[in-house]
DNA sequence: CTGAAAGCGCTAACAG
DNA sequence: CTGTTAGCGCTTTCAG
């Protein structure tokens, strides 16, 4: 009756191919379940058995297959993050936090960089959805577009339905009941605080430079600027607000233009440190010194801020912590503690602080 | 006899859970094989059938499961990259290239950052091995350690055995027959070229600063420096070589020390741009101007180089292309063209070029 | 052009 | 403490 033997697996496909849990089990003379147990160490196994299995694994050079594991188990041990540009320090620091926290939770990190392509962002989320990432984190400025919102909203629901979750990082949350977390920082407050710093030094003619024209996350900075002005009884002079791109080039050109137009101002609020770097160059070119002739402040506190000469007074955004918090939020639903009362708040807001360096002084005369 | 029906799947676990290919098949009234075919579009399917399936997928909100796909198929559509520090522009640009090329090949990119922890590097490679990444790219300086080499060598073999491959990026290849690719750039040549530039300007007392003490990739820069000197009949003065850390701090401190010791030099070769940034600060502090009093050159041409004042003359390393080339190399074995003669060379070396900016002038007097 | 069925490698009940 | 046995969701022969 030997011929009746089930013989479920016919032949090993490739003798060179990776060993499987079954090979290990056979070699150690145990069942695959036992091997699984020692691999995962989440179940009691006799010491001697464990030793035999470990030995077999070593001898065979066994490497677990994460996909089989993901398929059979429930979690994939992968988190995904989508950023605009990985070489931009703003995103890089957030990514670093995400990476670190992911690793701390025993996960790997799938990083997607859109290079500013809005469509790519959504496509990456879809891919991450296919990967069944335990959490997907979307970083950075969203455009205020109906259709876009609907698309994100939909993805949030899909993720939620598959036990994962969407985390909006550094941007406002969804204004719907879609299952998504938001991890932001106090953009408006930071902007107001540093504007206050300028006001305290005696400046009232402050030129605001940078940031997108369209309504978006970072407009919050402009809002903070305006609030601080108003709170001290000053009006926002439209001539002193120039929004547009976010780069060094923009800061450079606008500063040049402002000077050449004879615009009256004694300080510049750059919407981020990179813009401020451009401002510095233009100022130097026109022979204006910082901070004697004009004071400058930035935002973000990325490395350039302390490299500029004189070092830039700016708003420190807890970028790395932002990334960590995003992972924690995204994973909060998966953790075993599953205490429904200790529930993660859908929106986390981190504080910002003004870092005073050398680029602000009282206005000349 | 209805009771005899096999009924292979008993119950849907969770009505809210993600739809599977089977749900789609049922809804479209076709077999799962057919659904698979339309999803992959790699097999003829009647137009009407295809339409029905696509409709069913849409209605069900079907999202393929990448893990099931990886398990059943052969490729995972994921490449892994291990770097020291993702916020460091040197690595960030390489990662960007890797990401871009991975996406271009229809893959996602798993990014691991070790924060300089050598042990973590190997651990990440193991994790990537578990992920069955189609290629794993190891970036950056390796230490010259026997045991470490053996470990890398072993991983290379494991990857090779599982149809994947290891790519050493920006570091020398394995000196063994292990299946690994190396994608480097001409470190020595670049260093020699920029040293020549200094020599041509009339400098002979050049202080070399930075780079690791231990033999490692970047020692190649020191080697190039020496070669260029020799080629012009100069000896390498040991007093003018200070190796050690790689950061701004190191550049700053060593420059200060050199000046305070009264060391005789008219130019500084910083082992990378970051070190050069530190050099600038120290020079300014001691009232030495660049390039009037001392000329400075760097290496890598990361953004700081052009931000420094005066802009830094440096060696441009094709960082992003390095990343792209690494992915191409790593994937070369998988591509269908599998032409055994058009075989990827195990070692690719990219050229470097000197970028002349404003930090070099003839020596004073 | 389409369907049936056998797995891919692993985990998780469910018995012992 | 350990083994049996279903699947997880998809791809891929092998037959029509």
H or E segment at A321? Answer: helix A319-331
DSSP output for A260-292: HTT---SEEEESSHHHHHHHHHHHHHTT--TTT
Looking at beta carbons, which residues of chain A come within 8 Å of B13? none
Q: Give the pLDDT of residue B136.
A: 96
In total, the C-beta contacts within 8 angstroms joining chain A to chain B are: 128
Q: How confident is the model at residue B15 (pLDDT cuts 50, 70, 90)?
A: low
Q: How confident is the model at residue B4 (pLDDT cuts 50, 70, 90)?
A: very low
Residues B272 and B298: their CA atoms lie apart, in Å, by 5
Q: What percent of chain B shows pLDDT beyond 70? A: 90
Positions 63-82 of A with beta carbon below 7 A from strand C are: 64-65, 68-69, 71-74
Going by the DSSP 8-state scheme, the letter that residue A344 receives in this structure is P
Q: Give the pLDDT of residue A146.
A: 85
Residue B288: pLDDT over 90: yes
Interface test with B, best of A87, A114, A115, A300 (most B CBs within 10 A): A87
A82 forms beta bridges with A112, A138
Residues in chain A: 365
Question: A187-246 pLDDT, tens per residue?
Answer: 999 999 999 999 999 999 999 998 776 555 557 899 999 999 999 999 999 999 998 888
Q: Give the pLDDT of residue A353.
A: 96
Stretches in chain A below the pLDDT threshold 50: 1-13, 337-341
Residues A315 and A312: their CA atoms lie apart, in Å, by 10
The whole-angstrom distance between A232's CA and the closest CA on chain B is: 36
Residue B7: pLDDT over 80: no
Q: How confident is the model at residue B11 (pLDDT cuts 50, 70, 90)?
A: very low
Pairing of strands A353-355, B135-139: unpaired
Class of domain A78-185+319-351: alpha beta
Q: What's the average model confidence in pLDDT over B269-280?
A: 95
Nucleotides of C under 7 A from a protein CB: 1-13
| Contact status, residue B276 vs residue B308, Cβ threshold 8 Å | yes
Class of domain B16-68: mainly alpha
Q: How confident is the model at residue B342 (pLDDT cuts 50, 70, 90)?
A: low
CATH number belonging to domain A187-317: 3.40.50.2300
Q: Give the pLDDT of residue B12.
A: 41
Residues A326 and B245: their CA atoms lie apart, in Å, by 33
Nearest residue for C1, CA–C1': B45
Whole-angstrom CA distances from B298 to A61, B100, B244, B274 are 44, 27, 16, 8
Residue B280: pLDDT over 90: yes
* pLDDT averaged over every residue in chain B: 88
Protein residue ranges contacting nucleic strand D, Cβ under 7 Å:
A 29-34, 37, 43-46, 48-50, 68, 71-72; B 8-10, 13, 17-18, 20-22, 32-33, 36-37, 39-40, 62, 64-65, 68-69, 71-74
Cβ–Cβ contact B71 with A under 8 A? yes
Bigger pLDDT: B262 vs B334: B262
Q: How confident is the model at residue B217 (pLDDT cuts 50, 70, 90)?
A: low
Q: Give the pLDDT of residue B292.
A: 97
Question: B164-196 pLDDT, tens per residue?
Answer: 999 999 887 787 888 899 999 999 999 999 999
Question: B102-151 pLDDT, tens per residue?
Answer: 999 999 999 999 998 888 999 999 999 999 999 999 998 777 788 888 99
Contact (CB<8Å) A109/B109: no
Question: A256-299 pLDDT, tens per residue?
Answer: 999 999 999 999 999 999 999 999 999 999 999 999 999 999 99
| Contact status, residue A198 vs residue A180, Cβ threshold 8 Å | no
Q: Do domains B78-185+319-351 and B187-317 have the same CATH topology?
A: yes
Residue B17: pLDDT over 80: no
Q: Give the pLDDT of residue B190.
A: 96
Whole-angstrom CA distances from A168 to A163, A272, B72 are 17, 20, 33
Domain boundaries, chain A: 16-68, 78-185+319-351, 187-317
Q: Among all residues of chain B, which has the CA nearest to that of A304?
A: B304
């Amino acid at each position: 009756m030997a011929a009746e033997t089930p013989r479920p697996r016919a032949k090993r496909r490739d003798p060179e191919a990776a060993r499987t849990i079954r090979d290990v089990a056979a070699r150690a003379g145990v069942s695959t379940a036992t091997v699984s147990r020692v691999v995962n160490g989440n179940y009691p196994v006799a010491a001697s058995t464990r030793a035999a299995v470990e030995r077999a694994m070593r001898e065979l050079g066994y490497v677990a297959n994460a996909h089989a594991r993901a398929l059979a188990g429930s979690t994939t041990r992968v988190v995904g993050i989508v950023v605009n540009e990985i070489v931009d320090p703003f995103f890089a620091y957030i990514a670093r936090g995400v990476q670190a926290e992911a690793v701390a939770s025993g996960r790997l990190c799938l990083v997607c960089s859109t290079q500013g392509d809005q469509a790519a962002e959504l496509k990456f989320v879809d891919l991450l959805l296919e990967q069944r990432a335990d959490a997907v984190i979307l970083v950075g400025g969203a455009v205020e577009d109906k259709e876009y919102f609907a698309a994100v909203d939909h993805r949030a629901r899909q993720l939620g339905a598959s036990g994962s979750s969407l985390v909006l990082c550094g941007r406002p949350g969804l204004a719907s009941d879609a299952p998504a977390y938001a991890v932001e920082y106090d953009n408006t407050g930071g902007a107001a605080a540093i504007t206050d710093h300028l006001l305290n030094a005696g400046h009232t003619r402050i030129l605001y430079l940078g940031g997108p024209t369209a309504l978006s996350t970072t407009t919050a900075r402009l809002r903070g600027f305006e609030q601080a002005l108003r709170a001290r009884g000053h009006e926002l002079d439209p001539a002193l607000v120039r929004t547009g791109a976010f780069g060094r080039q923009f800061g450079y050109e606008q500063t040049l233009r402002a000077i050449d137009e004879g615009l009256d101002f004694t300080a510049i609020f750059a919407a981020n440190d990179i813009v401020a770097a451009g401002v510095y160059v233009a100022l130097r070119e026109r022979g204006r010194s910082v901070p004697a002739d004009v004071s400058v402040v930035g935002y973000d506190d990325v490395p350039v801020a302390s490299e500029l000469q004189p070092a830039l007074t700016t708003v420190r955004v807890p970028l790395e912590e932002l990334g960590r918090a995003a992972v924690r939020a995204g994973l909060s639903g998966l953790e075993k503690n599953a205490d429904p009362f200790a529930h993660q708040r859908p929106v986390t807001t981190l504080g910002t602080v003004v870092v005073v360096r050398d680029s602000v002084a009282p206005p000349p005369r």
